[in-house]
Amino acid sequence: MPEVTARDLAAKLGISAAAVSMALNGKPGVSPETREKVLAAAAELGYATPKTRQAEQQAKNILSFVIFTGIGVAEQTTFSNFVMRGAEAVAKDLGYRLLLHYFYADQPWDMQIKHIVNDACGVILLATDVTEPQRNLFIQYSDSISIPVVVVDNFLFSAYTDCVGNDNTYGVKSAVSYLIECGHRKIGYLRSKQRVVNFDDRELGVQLSLAEHKDLGLDPLQVIDVDISPDQAYRDVIAWLNAGNVPAAAFFAENDMLAATFIRALKECGYRVPDDVSVIGFDDVQICEMVEPPITTMQAFKERLGRVATTLLDFRIRSGDTLQTSPHSGLMKIALSLQLKERASVKKIG
């Protein structure tokens, strides 16, 4: 027999789901008569009240850390390792065990979701790769998830559950503005062909910076579209250069792996970095210090993302919230700022 939901109670009683939630959680906003009717119907239908569910969840100590794999953005860097490290540190301090799961977009979703939530009291979903259609599909399965969920690195979910991520737009706005402040007027943009919401937010940041500095006589933005895979991105850049194109004086690359790939291709074709072409990346992963010259980038506080997400998830668990009830108590959208990490890949002019 399927589990009775708050929506079932609302339909039976002819009232709103919000009224059912307030009655079950002992919150003001409903009459004593309505509260009694809701509690009686809950008992009749075998509905597990939030307090009962909270007691069951607190008897468990497992958090599922889920990495969604789709178009491959999450797989190309070590970003997820740092997020998980931060999550694991806080989970340990709070008495939880963190179990790693991979969620594959091209495999059946129902069985994967069942496996992830089974025996867990909360889920941290690293959703870097999730597109809007996939977000919509996830929401269709939300009724089968009776525990709280915190999404990391994707604000597409912010209307449905708590989200923690980077301030991509203003981080990139700062990156491009830094190139301009260094004296560059010919700006380029190394853009991934595969689009996720974070990349769209970063593209907006590029445009905002250019608009802010339009009175400086900037050249039109030069855009090179490349594959997210480093090997294919390298071939894309080489082909672009071999076609006789001349790169702009300073480029923003959508992440550090693309920045490193771009530098490799430029050097292969005889360009000096940063003397001929300056490059700035995004994320601050290890590759930045493994290439020559070391890459100037926007530093994301990756472990902090994991720490904040786990702290927020613990709050939801202790409050007895679920994926369905969290919106009724106010969802949280936390955007972490980024910090310029100057190294040696950007030339200052004048």
Write the CATH number for 226. 3.40.50.2300
- Look up residue 228 and give its DSSP letter: S
Residues spanned by the domain of 244: 168-301
Distances from the Cα of 61 to the Cαs of 95, 192, 245, 306, 342, in angstroms? Answer: 7, 39, 57, 17, 41
Q: Looking at the structure, tell me whether residues 71 and 195 fall in a common domain.
A: no
Q: What is residue 70's predicted lDDT score, i.e. its pLDDT?
A: 85
Q: What is residue 188's predicted lDDT score, i.e. its pLDDT?
A: 99
Q: Residue 343 domain-assigned?
A: no
Q: Looking at the structure, tell me whether residues 296 and 182 fall in a common domain.
A: yes
Q: Residue 205 domain-assigned?
A: yes
Q: What is residue 52's predicted lDDT score, i.e. its pLDDT?
A: 59
Q: Looking at the structure, tell me whether residues 180 and 275 fall in a common domain.
A: yes
Q: Looking at the structure, tell me whether residues 175 and 295 fall in a common domain.
A: yes
Q: Looking at the structure, tell me whether residues 103 and 192 fall in a common domain.
A: no
Q: Looking at the structure, tell me whether residues 250 and 309 fall in a common domain.
A: no
Q: Looking at the structure, tell me whether residues 150 and 75 fall in a common domain.
A: yes
Query: Amino acid letter at 77?
Result: T
Q: What is residue 6's predicted lDDT score, i.e. its pLDDT?
A: 76
- Please tell me the total count of domains within the chain: 3
**Cβ contact 345:259 at 8 Å:** yes
Round to whole Å and give the CA distance between 198 and 73: 10
Q: Looking at the structure, tell me whether residues 217 and 266 fall in a common domain.
A: yes
pTM of the model: 0.81
Round to whole Å and give the CA distance between 81 and 78: 5
Which is nearest to 251 in space by CA: 224, 280, 274?
280
Q: Can you give the CATH number for the domain in which 18 is found?
A: 1.10.260.40
Q: What is residue 110's predicted lDDT score, i.e. its pLDDT?
A: 93
Q: What is residue 27's predicted lDDT score, i.e. its pLDDT?
A: 73
Which parts of the chain register pLDDT below 50? 1, 59
Round to whole Å and give the CA distance between 24 and 233: 54
* Long-range contact pairs involving 46-53 (C-beta distance under 8 Å, separation at least 24): 46/4, 47/4, 47/5, 47/6, 47/8, 47/9, 48/3, 48/4, 49/24, 50/24, 50/25, 50/320, 50/321, 50/322, 50/325, 51/320, 53/146, 53/320, 53/322
Q: What is residue 1's predicted lDDT score, i.e. its pLDDT?
A: 47
Q: Residue 1 domain-assigned?
A: no
In 3-state terms the chain splits into helix, strand, coil percentages (rounded to 5) of 45, 20, 35
